[in-house]
Chain A
Amino acid sequence: ILNVEQSPQSLHVQEGDSTNFTCSFPSSNFYALHWYRWETAKSPEALFVMTLNGDEKKKGRISATLNTKEGYSYLYIKGSQPEDSATYLCAVSGGFKTIFGAGTRLFVKA
């Protein structure tokens, strides 16, 4: 695994908007994909770990999908709330490495 790309870098939405971000990665030697939420001044917290192509995970208003054949994962937030404001990190395990993307910084305005 050479590089994990996250887009967009940052996102500003209004309370109640639904939003999604992308994590892209080389599909060879894939083992697992992790999503973390990192609020300012707090510890990054695991949201999901996914391993199988077609995996879908859900936690409250947040859900994620995984496509290992084409090398991407989407994270969706339905009805964004101000408390969703955070940096969302994607990490991909495969080969001999676990690589983190640079994150998507989400700002939700009340």
Chain B
Amino acid sequence: DVKVTQSSRYLVKRTGEKVFLECVQDMDHENMFWYRQDPGLGLRLIYFSYDVKMKEKGDIPEGYSVSREKKERFSLILESASTNQTSMYLCASSFDPGTSPTLFATNEKLFFGSGTQLSVL
């Protein structure tokens, strides 16, 4: 069974702490993504990686950074957590057939982790 695994289901942190959210996929996918989901809003892309050590900013990268040192692992880092970063964070991965017209447009389905609910107090 293919899997995207996020390291924590729930996390509580204090304002100003450095926070690491880890994501691992076992499908040898090239693309990996970090999204956040807030009530009443669609999933919003924070960062995207299309290869090891490669990253692209999504729609809301401010306050976040990412690391992809190995193909299977994509980490999201909150350098100094703030209360407005309280949210559900979802990691996803997808296969890249090399036919997409741009980095961000795809007809390949996303495989998601089960999410990390982060509360920043």
Contacts and interface: CB of A to CB of B under 8 A. Distances in A.
Contact of A100 (B43, B107, B109): B43
Contacts of A103: 42
A53 interface: no
A99 interface: yes
Contacts of A43: 4, 111-115
B56 to A, nearest CB: 10
Interface residues of A, number: 26
Contacts of A102: 40-42
Interface in B48-101: 59, 90, 100-101
Contacts, number: 65
A97 B56 CA distance: 12
Contacts of B101: 31
Contact of A93 (B40, B105, B112): B105
A71 to B, nearest CB: 16
B42 A93 contact: no
Interface of B, secondary structure class, is loop
B42 A100 contact: yes
Contact of A44 (B44, B59, B90, B108): B90
A49 B90 contact: no
Given A100-B43, A101-B42, A93 B114 contact: no
Contacts of B113: 43
A84 B43 CA distance: 21
Contacts of A110: none
Contact of B106 (A4, A32, A42, A100): A32
B36 to A, nearest CB: 11
Contacts of A98: 45, 104-106
A26 interface: no
Interface of B: 4, 35, 40-45, 59, 90, 100-115
Given A34-B110, A93-B104, A95-B105, 10 more contacts: A43-B4, A43-B114, A43-B115, A46-B110, A46-B111, A91-B110, A93-B105, A95-B102, A101-B42, A103-B42
Interface of A: 4, 31-32, 34, 36, 41-46, 49, 51, 89, 91, 93-103
